[in-house]
């Protein structure tokens, strides 16, 4: 599933390919992906207008139009953006196809159809409506500590809860906890202040590195657990085989040596 670093890179991709071009036609191929907007309204708000710039909040891309509206994309499990000019480059699963007057196309490609398409005139109102927590790149240490110090849930579950903090999902929560050397099931209120501060600092570092790598279309460092997050994968710090457990119905990868299951 695309998480904060991937979504950030999608926004930069849209900025590089699709700004300041008049939208000639909008084709909604799968209306079931629309949320709180119908196909006719979407076409009305987009056609004849231009994209000006993008913002990201959590796992959402917000693209500003020249009419004070924002196109909102959530990528679900398999969504991505694809810009193309030649039809032989068209993606196989374009759910929303935007055609520009210059002949270019921007497709919202989503094989599994878990993505969502929406519009708003206010990002702030949308964030409140969805009850999203602070964006993970914007949150400060004081607020982070206030959020996590008193909660009893497993730390991995809390990191993934978009109502608590927006942007982190299953994959990057594993990375953060691996680098912080914290077991994914430890209750947050069992962590001391130093451990919570370590998670915060690691989170900021992991997200920055991952955003930079995703934007540059480069692989993540081999020292990360993410490249080894697979069957028979081994800890990048040793030859210890990674283990998996279920946390909030999600599969967590962790190193039993680096992340000992000690709940004091």
Residue carrying structure tokens 């799968």: 30
In angstroms, rounded to a whole number, what is the distance separating the alpha carbons of residues 30 and 174? Answer: 33
Query: 80-99: string of b/e by CB count within 10 Å (b at 16+)?
Result: bbbbeeeeeeebebbbbbbb
Question: Can you give the pLDDT at residue 150?
Answer: 86
Cβ atoms within 10 Å, residue 212: 13
Domains of the chain listed by start with CATH number: 4-130 (3.20.190.10), 134-254 (1.10.8.50)
**Residues with Cβ within 8 Å of residue 86, at least 6 apart in sequence:** none
Provide mean pLDDT across the span 135-159.
96
What is the rounded average pLDDT of the residues 56-62? 98
Helix axes 141-148, 193-215, angle to 10 degrees: 120
Residue 263's pLDDT band (cuts 50, 70, 90): low
Give, as one character, the DSSP assignment of residue 223: T
Confidence of residue 136 (pLDDT cuts 50, 70, 90): very high
pLDDT score of 149 more than 60: yes
Q: Is pLDDT above 80 for 132?
A: yes
Give the span between the Cα atoms of 36 and 69, in whole angstroms: 14
Under the banding of pLDDT at 50, 70 and 90, the label for residue 78 is very high
Band the pLDDT of 239: cuts 50, 70, 90.
Answer: confident
Structure tokens at 117: 């398409």
Task: Report the mean per-residue pLDDT for the chain.
Answer: 97
**Position 261 confidence tier, pLDDT thresholds 50, 70, 90:** confident
Q: What are the respective helix, strand and coil percentages of the chain, to the nearest 5? A: 35, 25, 40
Q: Looking at residue 1, what is its pLDDT?
A: 87
Q: Compute φ and ψ for 233, nearest 5 degrees.
A: -70, 150
pLDDT at residue 242 is higher than 60? yes
pTM: 0.96
Mean pLDDT, residues 94-107 taken together: 98
Whole-angstrom Cα distance, residue 229 to residue 223?
A: 12
Tens digits of residue pLDDT in 35-55: 999 999 999 999 999 999 999
What DSSP assignment string belongs to 64-76?
EETTS-EEEEE-T
Whether 107 contacts 96, CB under 8 Å? yes
* Pairwise CA distance, residues 182 & 234, whole Å: 17
CA 214 to chain centre: 12
* Cβ partners under 8 Å of residue 187, min gap 6: 151, 152, 153, 154, 155, 263
Identify the band that residue 264 occupies on the pLDDT scale cut at 50, 70 and 90.
Answer: low
């Amino acid at each position: 599933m695309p998480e904060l670093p991937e979504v950030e890179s999608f926004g930069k991709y849209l900025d590089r390919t699709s700004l300041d071009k008049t939208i000639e036609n909008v084709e909604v191929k799968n209306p079931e992906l629309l949320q709180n907007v119908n196909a006719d309204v979407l076409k009305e708000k987009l056609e004849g207008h231009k994209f000006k710039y993008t913002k990201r909040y959590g796992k959402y891309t917000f693209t500003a139009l020249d009419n004070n509206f924002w196109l909102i994309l959530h990528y679900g499990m398999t969504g991505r953006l694809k810009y193309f000019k030649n039809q032989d480059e068209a993606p196989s699963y374009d759910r929303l196809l935007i055609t520009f007057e210059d002949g270019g196309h921007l497709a919202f490609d989503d094989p599994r159809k878990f993505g969502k398409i929406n519009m708003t005139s206010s990002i702030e109102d949308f964030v409140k409506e969805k009850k999203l927590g602070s964006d993970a790149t914007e949150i400060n240490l004081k607020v982070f500590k206030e959020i996590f110090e008193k909660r009893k849930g497993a730390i991995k579950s809390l990191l993934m809860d978009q109502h608590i903090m927006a942007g982190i999902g299953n994959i990057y929560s594993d990375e953060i906890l691996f680098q912080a050397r914290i077991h994914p099931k430890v209750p947050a209120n069992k962590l001391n202040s130093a451990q919570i501060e370590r998670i915060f600092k690691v989170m900021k570092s992991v997200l920055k590195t991952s955003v930079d790598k995703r934007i540059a279309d480069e692989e993540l460092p081999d020292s990360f657990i993410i490249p080894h997050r697979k069957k028979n994968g081994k800890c990048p710090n040793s030859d210890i085989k990674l283990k998996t457990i279920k946390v909030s119905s999600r599969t967590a990868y962790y190193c039993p040596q680096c992340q000992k299951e000690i709940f004091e």
